Structure 1
Amino acid sequence: MSFRTFESAHIGGGIHHATVKSAALHRRADISFYVPSGVTSEKLPLVILLHGVYGSHWAWLYKGRAHEVLDRLIQEENLPPMMLAMPSDGLWGDGSGYAPHSDADYAAWIVNEVPEAAAEIDPRCKDAPRFISGLSMGGYGALRLGLLHPKKFVAISAHSSITHVTQMQGFVEESLAEFDLTGTDPLAVIDCAKLTARLPHLRFDCGSEDVLIEHNRTLHRDLQAAGIPHVYEEFFGGHTWDYWHEHLADTLRFFKACLSL
């Protein structure tokens, strides 16, 4: 895949911003990247981080300080260097849900085009292990897309996740009818998990004070009932950036562990 246009800037400290012409979205879209310093390996694992409603490509970088978490774990816990790709969701309404709409395929943007854009920034991630994570709507995107494309991702880890697109109605202005979703893939995370026996390694967590806690507990129980291996954790906290900044470390530790499996 090649982009008709690709504009990028390295603003220092390993941070890159890019704007690309997306064939899946039929318009330009933005991605932030972070490449840690001192990488000597030939392959650089790629972590795609998906933001929630109202946000964009800058959210994980500047509100979640994801690069600071990554650097700390590299220095203090011998985490292997990983590249972070933090795309916008395509900027439809208050949030696209990372799903195919009739006018743009927000799923293909994430699954197919974002990794290609990352390889333009650093070719070492092209054939390296790939992971996906996200928060809230981005947690839904990470879970759903990771489960629907099990050969694309080694592991999935999500935070404070919506577990069915209908739960978007508690957050966004647009009605579900306005989403005009297309395709035949399931919209419930649990139904996506039942499609194939060989799934990526799977974990998710939620804060005990989070508005989405019961949805996450239900998903955990449903996965248990279906015999689908996964890790589910609850921590104290709400639907906040403090929570996501803190527990991104759990995601990165999980991804490290999956590299050796």
Structure 2
Amino acid sequence: MKKQTLLLIFAIIFMHISTYSQQALWGGQQIISPEINDDNSVTFRLFAPEVTAVQITGDFLPTEKIQTPYGEMDAPGKAELAKDEKGIWSFTTNALTPELYGYSFIVEGLTISDPNNPFLIRDVGTVTNVFIISGEQADLYKVNDIPHGTVAKRWYASSGLDMKRRLTVYTPPGYEQSTEKYPVLYLLHGAGGDEEAWMDLGRTSQIMDNLINQGKAKPMLVVMPNGNVIQDAAPGEGRDGFYKPQFMVSKQMDGTYEENFMDIVNFTENNYKVIADKEHRAIAGLSMGGYHSMHISRYYPNTFDYVGLFSAAFVPRDGVTSKVYENIDETLKSQKENGYKLYWISIGTSDFLYDANQEFKQKLDDLDMNYQYSESEGGHIWRNWRVYLSDFVPLLFK
């Protein structure tokens, strides 16, 4: 074969590979969205000349009430985009307060992500675009030019569940070089979440890095397990491959997770440089994770000195029987008698679990158990849970 022919073949192959590899670069719309303006208003844009209606939904808009199987809840509102002569739809917000925000477009009734914003997070089975307005509380959610901890995805063996399971572990800046031992916060997700939730939606590593750097929090490990005992890992990360996540799965709140939680503690204490005693263990969680934290901390009543319940559920589900949920008052009394440093409850005033939290507070009052209580505006939302974590962590291990 002639040299010129070979060169031509190689050139064609190279052009094919190059074209294929560049598809992701040239496939997007060449417009800016979202654009954060000088006054902290935000402009969103979508090029869609052939469609007749585009809306945006996001947590920067006034909320709407919706009916769910769990009662009336707040949902992000909607706003209309306007179309210009070039076929670009746009919407500009009022000035926004500092926060991590999520949004999606609705094109003729179909919810889609913003093709100009590659930054997304998954909450249960919904994927949402995100952006940050800097300042105040939101600066805790940013990656700043400071020392950073390490985030690892680890697998541990659960003898009680007869499987290897995945969890997320944050170790503080300097952990690898240090010879000292650290305290541990076990941080639990809500229904529909998994070992990814507190990292992706809760911005845990950013919050921890920033609080530690500011001297507001002790350096500590944060262990974030998967609370769904039928799963070995988050959807797409385990043996079951890619499947659509569900809000509620079987055995979520039937006592199985609580009974086997010490597998997680034992793995942590056998594999990391931690202080393995009650004074240096904390447990906290949101919603279902608050439910788990309350029951784990009283089921093992001499194990955790710090307990955080964020928008927590409290009552076992109908028809569930488990030894974990027996003698609740007696085990709470044992927890009280063994002593603890902090029992912390936080809830939004429009949260659908607000009344359940007031009832649980009354139970603690009747048992003469000390606790700290905090209310915020809003409902059952990640905006609140990021704040609760930011407020809770500085109180630990003092």
Please list, as runs of the form range in 1=range in 2, the aligned pairs for 1:108-257 lying within 5 A after superposition.
Answer: 108-110=259-261, 112-127=262-277, 129-166=280-317, 176-177=318-319, 181-183=321-323, 185-186=325-326, 192-196=331-335, 197-200=337-340, 201-255=342-396
Q: TM-score, normalised by structure 1?
A: 0.79
Superposed CA deviations along residues 66-112 of structure 1, whole A, max 9, x for unmatched, are 12111111112341101000000134452644553xxxx321332x1
The 1-side partners of 2:213 and 2:270 are apart by: 26
Is contact 2:157-2:163 (8 Å) kept? yes
| Structure-2 residue corresponding to 1:173 | none
- The code of the aligned residue for 2:182 comes to L
| Structure-2 residue corresponding to 1:31 | 167
Aligned length: 229
The 2-side partners of 1:68 and 1:31 are apart by: 18
- Give 1:198 shift: 2.4
- Give 1:195 shift: 4.1
**Larger relative contact order, structure 1 or 2 (CA cutoff 8 Å, min sep 6):** 1
Q: Secondary structure at the match of 1:141?
A: helix
Structure 2 portions without partners, runs of 5+:
1-147, 231-247
Work out the percentage of aligned pairs sharing the same amino acid: 24
Query: Which structure's CA Rg is the greater one?
Result: 2
Q: Secondary structure at the match of 1:72?
A: helix
1:21 aligns with 2:172: no
Q: Secondary structure at the match of 1:85?
A: strand
1:51 aligns with 2:192: no
Moved more, 231-240 or 37-46: 37-46
User: Measured at CA, do residues 151 and 195 of structure 1 come closer, stay the same or move farther in structure 2, by a change above 3 Å?
Assistant: closer
- Give 1:146 shift: 0.8
- The code of the aligned residue for 1:245 comes to R
The 2-side partners of 1:63 and 1:121 are apart by: 27
Which residue of the other structure, out of 67, 82, 85, is the alignment partner of 2:205?
67
Q: Which is strand-richer, 1 or 2?
A: 2
C-alpha RMSD over aligned residues = 2.4
Q: TM-score, normalised by structure 2?
A: 0.53
- Give 1:41 shift: 6.3
